[in-house]
Amino acid sequence: MQNIHSPLQAQLVQWLVAPGAAVAAGDVLVILEAMKMEHEIRAPEAGLVGELFFQAGEAVAEGEVLASLTPLADAASHPHPPVDTTNTPPHAAKPSNERADLHKLKARLAFTQDSARPEAVTKRHAMGLRTARENITDLCDPDSFIEYGALAVAAQSRRRTADDLMRNTPADGMVTGIGCVNGQRVVVMAYDFTVLAGTQGMRNHQKTDRMLGIALQHKLPVVLFAEGGGGRPGDVDVAIVAGLNLATFASFARLNGRVPVVGVVAGRCFAGNAALLGCSDVIIATHGSNIGMGGPAMVEGGGLGVFKPEQIGPSGVQHDNGVIDVLVDDEAQAVATARHYLSFFQGAQTEWEAPPAEALRHVVPENRLRVYDTRAAMQGIADESSLLLLRTGFGVGIHTALARIAGRPVGLMANDPLHLGGAIDADAADKAARFMQLCNAHGLPIVSLVDTPGFMVGPETEATAQVRHVSRMFVAAAHLRVPLLSVVLRKGYGLGAMAMTGGGFHETLATVAWPTGEFGGMGLEGAVRLGYRKELEAVPEGPERDALFDQLLAQQYDNGSAINMAATLEIDAVIDPAETRTWLVAGLASGAIAPDAGVRAIDTW
C-alpha cells in the first residue's frame, strides 16, 4: 500500500473516485484548487483506492496524505471490480470532436483569408492585380510566412457591428509577419487594397510599429507592399484629434542604412503609404502604378484642381524622375525582382556562371570617337543572370546596378558615353552618390567602370546647381568603408574621372585601365587649345593651323595613353579586357570592409 500526498497547499474541490474503486495509472483521483487554479492529482500506478482522508471543501497542507492506494499486484488475491478505463487522462484519449476553443479560433481565422471574401478577390483579379496575401505567398519561401496581428479589425466598433468588422476589415487592411526569402528571414508588410482601399488605420499602424521594432532589433530586411490611399479618417474607437504623434514614419525611417528596405507598388499609392514607400532603399513599381504624396481628394481639397488617380504620379513620370528604381510589367515580376534584390544582401553564392571573357575585348570600338553602350561591359563582368540595373530612367549619364562577380555581391556603376559623351551632370552625380551610400551601408564592394570627359559644364549646367550636386560624389566616396575598384574603359579625364575613382586614382583598392584608356587633366582638345594658344595663334588660320593642332593633339593622346599612365604609376596596371574579372576577383578577395566608424557625412546638397 502507498499513500497519495498533496503536492501543495490547497483546497480539495472534488473526489473523482470512491473507496474500493479500481484505477489505472494516470487516472485523475482528486481535484485541488490553489490561487484560483485547479490541479489534477493522478494515480501513480494501477490499483485499488483505499481510504479518503479529506472531504470536498476542506483545506490540505503540502505533503498531507489525501488517500491510500493498493497496487494491483498486492490486491490480486482480493476480489475487486474491473478497472474503469473511462477515466483516462486527456493526453491518452483521442477526442472524437474538436475542442470548442480551437474550433472557435479556426472559425475566426477563416475570416482573415481571401477565401472568405470571394467578391473582393474577384474584383481585384478583374483589375489585373493580386491580393496582398497572394503577393506574400509568392514572395516567401513555401510555408515559411508567420503572420502577426491577423485577428485585428478596424477601430470602428462605435459605428459598425463586430460581425461587419470581422467580415470586411480583416487584419485591419494590412498583412504583417515574418517569412523566409531565399532561405533567410525577412519582415513582410502588405497593405490590403481590398480592405478600406489599403488605408492606414490605427491598428495597422500598431502592427507596422511592432514589425518595424522587430526588424530593427533583429536586423531583418523589410519588404513593404505599399499600395493604398494613406491615412484613414474613419477610425473612431481611438480618442485622437490629428494623429500626428504616430511613431510609424520615424520607425520606418530609422531602418535606413541599418537593414535593406524594399518598397513594392502596383496600383495606387498615395499620402502616408507613399511617405513610407519613399523611405525605402529601392522602389519596385509596375507600369500601372501611380505614386503621389497626395491623392485626388487631397489635391482637390487643397484647391489645386480635380484629377483622376491615374493622372497623379504615373509610373512614366516617377521612373524618369528617379522615384522608381525598377519599373516592371506586373506584380509577379515585381515580386521576382524583390527576391533578386534581397539576394544581394544575403551573402555570396557558391554556384555561378561566368560570361565569355573574350567578349570584353570588343566592347570599346577601335575608333576612339565612336560611342558604345557600357552596359555591355557590365554584362561581361557580372555573373550570368545576376545584373540588376537600378534607376534606369533617371541620371542616365551613369548606370548603376547590383551584380555578382564569382558569386560575390557587388555594386557596379559605369559612365554612359551615349549621354553627353559620358559627362557627369547633376542627376547622374546624385544617382551615383546615393548608390555609393547604398552599397556602403550594406557592405557591398563597388566596381566603377570609367569613361567620362569629366563633369558637365556650361551656363545651363551651372543653373542646375551643378557645383553642389557633383560634389556629392566626392563626399560619398570619402566616407566609403567598402573596397572600391576602378577600371578605366576609355576616357579618364579631369575631376569627373577622379569622382568615379573615389576622389583620385590612388583612393581605390585598384585602378586599372584597358588598352583603350586615355587620360588627361581635362579634355585633350580643350587642353591643346588652352595650353598651346600662343603657338596656334602664331600660325595662319586654315590648313596649317589645323595641321599643327592635330600634331599637338596626337602628342597629348600619346602622353595620356594608358600605357604611359601605368609607366608613371598614376594607375596600377593596363590589362587585357579579357582579364578584367580575374583582376576584380583578386581585388575583392583582398579588400576588407571596415567597421562603421560612426562618422556621418553632411550632404553637399
**pLDDT over 90, % of the chain:** 81
What's the CA gap between 424 and 413, in Å, rounded? 12
Judge if 550 and 565 occupy the same domain. no
Q: Cell triple for residue 265?
A: 507598388
369 to 91, 413, 491, 512: CA distances (angstroms): 83, 22, 11, 21
pLDDT band at 84 (very low <50, low <70, confident <90, very high): very low
User: Which of these, 257, 225, 51, lies nearest to 139 by C-alpha position?
Assistant: 225
Contact 198, 228 (CB under 8 A): yes
Residue holding cell 487592411?
A: 173
Write down the pLDDT at residue 120.
Answer: 95
Spell out the SS3 assignment of 52-97.
Answer: ECCCCCCEECCCCEEEEEEECCCCCCCCCCCCCCCCCCHHHCCCCC
Mean pLDDT of the chain: 92
Residue 573: partners with Cβ closer than 8 Å, 6 or more residues away: 510, 512, 513, 566, 583
* Alpha-carbon gap, residue 522 to 492, rounded angstroms: 9
Q: Please state, in angstroms and rounded to a whole number, the distance separating the CA atoms of residues 515 and 530.
A: 27
- In angstroms, the CA 399 to CA 395 distance is 8
200 plus 326 within the same structural domain: yes
**16: domain CATH number?**
2.40.50.100
Strands (E), 465-560: 484-493, 510-513, 518-520
Q: How confident is the model at residue 19 (pLDDT cuts 50, 70, 90)?
A: very high
Q: Which triple of cell numbers denotes residue 152?
A: 485585428
DSSP structure class, residue 278: H
The total number of structural domains in the chain stands at: 4
331 and 370 share one domain: no
For the segment 550-566, the average pLDDT, to the nearest whole number, is 88
pLDDT of residue 92: 42
Residues 496 and 569 in one domain: yes
Which value, to the nearest 10 degrees, does the dihedral of the CA atoms of residues 56, 57, 62, 65 take? -30
Residues 428, 361: Cα–Cα separation, whole Å? 27
Domain of residue 304, CATH code: 3.90.226.10
Cell 595650353 found at: 531
Query: Does a structural domain hold residue 545?
Result: yes
Shared domain check, 80 and 151: no
- pLDDT beyond 70 at 76: no
What is the rounded distance in angstroms from the CA atom of residue 453 to the CA atom of residue 602?
27
Q: What is the C-alpha to C-alpha distance for residues 183 and 199, in angstroms, rounded to an integer?
A: 31
pTM: 0.88
Domain boundary among 74, 94, 114: 94
Note whether 41 and 155 are same-domain residues. no
Residue 99, domain member (yes or no):
no
Is residue 348 in some structural domain? no
Return d(Cα 405, Cα 381) in angstroms, integer. Answer: 7
How does DSSP classify residue 354? P
Least reliable range by pLDDT among 41-45, 218-222, 556-560, 567-571 = 556-560
How does residue 601 score in pLDDT terms, banded at 50, 70 and 90?
A: confident
Query: Does one domain contain both 550 and 566?
Result: no
Domain assignment present for residue 600? The answer is no
pLDDT-derived band of residue 183, with 50, 70 and 90 as boundaries? Answer: very high
Q: Give the pLDDT confidence of 427-486 residue by residue, as tens digits.
A: 999 999 999 999 999 999 999 999 999 999 999 999 999 999 999 999 999 999 999 999
Q: Which band of pLDDT confidence, cut at 50, 70 and 90, is reported for residue 406?
A: very high
CA distances from 602 to 444, 501, 560, 599, 605 (A): 22, 20, 35, 10, 9
Question: What's the length of the chain?
Answer: 605
The predicted model gives 379-390 an average pLDDT of: 98
Co-location of 568 and 549 in the same domain: no
d(CA 559, CA 547): 18
Domain finish residue from 295, 317, 343: 343
Contact status, residue 394 vs residue 432, Cβ threshold 8 Å: no
The CA–CA distances, whole Å, from 359 to 381, 489, 576 equal 10, 14, 11
Picking from 448, 376, 371, 449, the residue whose alpha carbon sits closest to that of residue 417 is 371
**Claim to verify: residue 314 and residue 398 sit in the same structural domain:** no
User: Is 233 domain-assigned?
Assistant: yes
Contacts of 368 (CB under 8 A, 6+ apart): 490, 516, 518
pLDDT of residue 464: 96
Angle at alpha carbon of residue 568, lines to 563 and 571, rounded to 5°: 65
Q: Are 386 and 262 part of one and the same domain?
A: no
Residues 281 and 381 in one domain: no
CB 189 within 8 A of CB 224: yes
pLDDT confidence of residue 85: 41
Asked if 205 and 238 count as a contact pair (C-beta separation under 8 A), the reply is: no
Once rounded to an integer, what is the mean pLDDT over residues 120-149?
Answer: 97
Number of H-type helices and E-type strands within the chain: 20, 25
In a domain, 337, yes or no: yes
Q: Which residues contact 92 (CB under 8 A, 6 or more apart)?
A: 26
User: Would you say residue 596 lies in a domain?
Assistant: no
Pairing of strands 65-71, 2-5: antiparallel
Question: pLDDT tens digits, residue range 254-277?
Answer: 999 999 999 999 999 999 999 999
For 122, the domain range is: 104-343
Task: Answer yes or no: do 41 and 73 share one domain.
Answer: yes
Q: Residue 349 falls within a domain, yes or no?
A: no
Whether pLDDT at 284 is above 50 = yes
Task: Output b/e per residue, 392-424; b: 16+ Cβ within 10 A.
Answer: bbbbbbbbbbbbbbbebbbbbbbbbbebbbbbb
Q: What is the pLDDT of residues 287-343, one digit of tens each?
A: 999 999 998 888 888 888 999 999 999 999 999 999 999 999 999 999 999 999 999
Helical pair 466-478 and 426-441, crossing angle rounded to 10 deg: 20
In 293-336, DSSP assigns E strands to: 326-328
Task: Give the domain-ending residue among 94, 125, 142.
Answer: 94
Measured over all CA atoms, what is the biggest interatomic distance in the chain, rounded to whole angstroms? 138
